[in-house]
Structure 1
Amino acid sequence: MRVAIIAALALATTAATAQQGPMTAPGSKNPALVTGGSYTADAGHSIVTWTVDHMGFTPYSGMFGDVTGTLTLDPKNPSAAKVDVTIPVAKVTTASGGLTSHLLRAGKDGGKADFFGAAPADAKFVSTSVVATGQTAKVTGNLTLNGVTKPVTLDAAFYGAGKAPAMMGGKENVGFTATGTIRRSEFGIAYGIPIVSDAVKLDIVVAFQK
């Protein structure tokens, strides 16, 4: 009897799935799905990953999550786009608890911290220029990190767009990736150079919703 019930449930599930058709992701790489307007960063799905060279032996990565901010976008004029995002440095994470603690450790005897310190201010990137070519763009802006503001250029690319399912809010989404490189010494973070590289590679994923 139990086997018969399980078999009946399996058949019913299969029939229901067949009627609904195959499941597909709601997002697509089709830029025609992007609509204009003001978007808000989806903090839960936006990540800034950083990578440094560790002693010439291996690359080492960590990340910042909970990125917040806004995007103003006109798909008919993508070069007019404006981005303003905030990165909570205090939420930095790595695969090593000891290293994460060191990144956020106060300076010894009240001195300057090796990296970010115990209560780091949020980092901020505000675009000043977007030069779009097809589905990619050079995004130049001012990055404020560790109390220092410097111009940075990122290579950005459209990743996907679409409308989320109703059970997940039903909002319109658009996502981008971006890469770039900064020199941490320019932002007053010179500890360990050159054993740990001055150059820091950035790999960025930001999702926006409206």
Structure 2
Amino acid sequence: MKTTLIAALGAVTLGLSAFAALEAQEGPALPGAVDPARITRGTYQADSAHSLVQWRVNHFGFNDYFGLFGDVSGTLTIDPAQLGQASVDVTIPIASVTVASDGLRDHLLRAGTDGGAPDFFGPEPQPARFVSKSVAVSPGGMTADITGDLTLNGVTREVVLATRFTGAGANPMSKAETVGFEGTTTIKRSDYGIAFALPVVSDDVELEFTAAFEKAAAE
């Protein structure tokens, strides 16, 4: 009888230990959450280390290839009570483009042959810039279409960013209030004077972005 009781207690102890281990694996709650109530009114600065723009084009009808622009800078001004009045102004360096091979990067940034126009951006491209003009927020407040002017390669065109709110909270490292968004749009590179290899390299360029903005501690 005593042996049976000890065995039963041992089984219970093992069960509790396993449950505690499972809880430990789940870990603490994340600092950010998809909760609009966490957003406070003010002006936020782009977190350049964690804000990226991915571009994607089709190559000869065989497959798509893509690259990244990073080091995004700029501001977001937002008031959760008036989301439709939010504004964003961001700058995206082109010269720091990241791709899978040095050869492709050189192609994107090399000078034109014999003084001619470069195939794509050239060796000293100006940064791209997006400045919002209006924000159409969905009824739930979780998504929005942001209309604004995109300046690229010296040309400015209106684009619409389909945007989704992805989280807000305090950054555990910087302690700054942070808000995040993701979104997509599609542009035609020929609209911006980049017509090399059309149509075998697609005119349509799919853009996908992820952006974090941090609020200054003084606000």
Q: Same fold (TM over 0.5)?
A: yes
Cα deviation code 1:103-146 (max 9, x no counterpart): 00011111101000000000000001110112100101000000
Unaligned runs of 5+ in 2: 1-19
Matched residue, 2:160: 153
- Give the distance between the partners of 1:36 and 1:96, measured in 2 at CA: 42
SS, match of residue 34 in structure 2: coil
Would you say 1:107 and 2:112 are equivalent positions?
A: yes
Matched residue, 2:193: 188
TM-score for both structures, normalised by structure 2: 0.85
- One-letter amino acid matched to 1:155: A
Deviation at 1:59, TM superposition (A): 1.2
- One-letter amino acid matched to 2:56: T
Matched residue, 1:29: 34
Cα deviation code 1:42-62 (max 9, x no counterpart): 000000000001111111110
SS, match of residue 89 in structure 1: coil
The number of residues matched between the two structures is 191
Give the counterpart of 1:116 among 115, 121, 125. 121
- One-letter amino acid matched to 1:198: D
- Give the distance between the partners of 1:171 and 1:209, measured in 2 at CA: 6
Would you say 1:164 and 2:193 are equivalent positions?
A: no
- Give the distance between the partners of 1:130 and 1:55, measured in 2 at CA: 36
- One-letter amino acid matched to 1:120: P
Give the counterpart of 2:82 among 77, 84, 89. 77
Deviation at 1:24, TM superposition (A): 2.3
Would you say 1:144 and 2:151 are equivalent positions?
A: yes
Matched residue, 1:174: 179
Matched residue, 1:6: none
SS, match of residue 90 in structure 1: coil
Deviation at 1:23, TM superposition (A): 2.1
Identity %: 55
Cα deviation code 1:142-200 (max 9, x no counterpart): 000000000011100100000011xx110000000010000000000000111110000
SS, match of residue 81 in structure 2: coil
Would you say 1:39 and 2:47 are equivalent positions?
A: no
Alignment RMSD (CA, Å): 1.5
- Give the distance between the partners of 1:52 and 1:22, measured in 2 at CA: 39
SS, match of residue 95 in structure 2: helix
Moved over 4 A (4+): none
Matched residue, 2:16: none
- One-letter amino acid matched to 1:162: G
Cα deviation code 1:22-75 (max 9, x no counterpart): 422100011111111000000000000000011111111101000000000011
- One-letter amino acid matched to 1:80: Q
Bigger radius of gyration among the two: 2
TM-score for both structures, normalised by structure 1: 0.88
